[in-house]
Amino acid sequence: MSGTEETVLLTTAAFDARFPNTNQTKHCWQNYVDYYKCISARGEEFAPCKQFFKAYHALCPNEWISKWDEQREEGTNPSNFSV
């Protein structure tokens, strides 16, 4: 370790009126898709894209993210990630 410590602030996703119900599966999926569409259009350093990243990491189980990442890399994910 280099002797420096990094503090990570963990927060949950903000309320989204499109997903008012308790089940947040669609909210999770939409943020995942929106993140990859956003970085496709604007690049990974575009600050608004990072909000989608934080939201889907807060809402989605890690197993789902891993599965979707594999599908996206293989080109078998059912979503269109291009803008």
What is the number of structural domains in the chain?
Answer: 1
pLDDT tens, position by position, 5-56: 777 776 777 777 777 666 778 889 999 999 999 999 999 889 999 999 999 9
pLDDT of residue 83: 58
Q: Does some domain include residue 80?
A: no
String of DSSP letters for 12-72? PPPP-TT--SS--HHHHHHHHHHHHHHHHHH-TT-HHHHHHHHHHHHHS-HHHHHHHHHHH
> How many residues make up the chain in this entry?
83
Helices 25-42 & 47-59 angle (0-180, nearest 10): 150
List, as own/partner pairs, every contact residues 43-48 make where C-beta atoms lie below 8 angstroms and the sequence separation is at least 24, other chains included. none
- Supply the CATH number for residue 33's domain: 1.10.10.140
Domain holding 67, by residue range, is 24-74
Q: Does some domain include residue 18?
A: no
User: pTM for the complete prediction?
Assistant: 0.71
Q: Does some domain include residue 31?
A: yes
